[in-house]
Copies of this chain bind each other. A is one copy, B any other.
Amino acid sequence: MIIDVHGHYTTAPAALGRWRDAQTAALVDPAQAPDPAGPRIGDDEIRESIETNQLRQMDERGIDLTVFSPRASFMAHHIGDFETSSAWARVCNDLCHRVAALFPERFAPGAMLPQSPGVDPATVIPELERAVNDLGAVAVNVNPDPSGGHWTAPPLTDRSWYPVWEKLVELDVPAMVHVSTSCNPAFHTTGSHYLNADTTAFMQLLQGNLFADFPDLRLVIPHGGGGVPYHWGRFRGLAQALGKPEPEEALLGNVLFDTCVYHQPGIDLLLEVIPHEAVLFASEMIGAVRGVDPRTGHHFDDTRRYVENAGLPDEALRAVEERNARRVYPRLDALLTAQGR
């Protein structure tokens, strides 16, 4: 089967956006506060928003299941404070849970966390536990820059993050390191901020020694690892200069890259440079790049085509498309196993 570890609910019914607008407006005018119970969205609306979008394209592309988390650019942790993010994360995580409940064989829920700039990362733990234990989330997204492009948070190797890593290990859930929208005019959200964050996170991990303290922690770097595989020689050379082991040894047991790279040469490089055990199939569909490539007649983000055209041996292809995900996301594996898959 084909597992896509990186999908977001980018097509949620408009009531979700209105709820968020009201919540944002209430930061200035409390009278505008939305219903704390969340937006009213019927199951039919959810079904339609999925069937006409992600599910349709998953069927066209032969993707069996997607790990489905709240829209990344809408996490916008920089808005308001911890309470703002907390209420917003609950609403968004509930919705992804409902999608998975409506399509249990096609979506497994991922969750966002109620991060807020300058707030102790440990404060996300109650929502993290709720998402995993109550909502069935098989993965969470951790934002290394809740400020939205001002990069005021300490590196992921800082001790302040440790309670989050401890809880992830305890729950046996991987985290995808994924920023949200940029509110810094220097950075385009999906064109530079996302890729920069991926590169930044990897280098933080290379500089540090996090996996000595958390040997069971798994972190997924999305968007093909940002600039990392293309510059693999640079990272190997920097590791050497820092007196670290080869990054393969030091990091790739715990760090994985997804395949959200939207052309054949990029996927070819990723699969040539990074051991197949550390690559997870993903497309981030429907996401940043929605168009059809006029040169191929296919969607830019139809990454399955690139992955299957990369000439991998069958075993490696199966690892990238299914087996690695089942290993790295044990709660997803348990869910699939319970379904007899």
Contacts and interface: CB of A to CB of B under 8 A. Distances in A.
Interface of A: 144-145, 149-151, 153-155, 184-188, 190-192, 195-196, 199-200, 202-204, 206-207, 223-224, 226-227, 229-238, 240-241, 261-263, 265-266, 268-269, 272-273, 288-291, 293, 300-301
Contacts of A231: 195, 223-224, 261-263, 266
A227 B195 contact: yes
B199 A186 contact: no
Nearest to A261: B231
Given A145-B186, A151-B184, A233 B196 contact: no
Given A155-B186, A192-B199, A269-B266, A234 B261 contact: yes
Contact of A200 (B154, B192, B203, B266): B192
Contact of A207 (B191, B224, B234, B272): B191
Contact of A230 (B191, B240, B261, B300): B261
14 contacts: A155-B186, A187-B203, A188-B238, A190-B238, A191-B206, A192-B196, A196-B200, A199-B227, A231-B263, A233-B293, A238-B289, A263-B273, A266-B269, A269-B269
B265 A232 contact: yes
List 9 A-B pairs, minimum CB-CB distance, nearest first: A233-B263, A227-B227, A233-B262, A237-B289, A230-B230, A191-B203, A196-B196, A237-B300, A192-B203
A204 B232 contact: no
A237 B207 contact: no
A270 B155 CA distance: 30
Residue of A188, A227, A291, A301 most packed against chain B (CB within 10 A) = A227
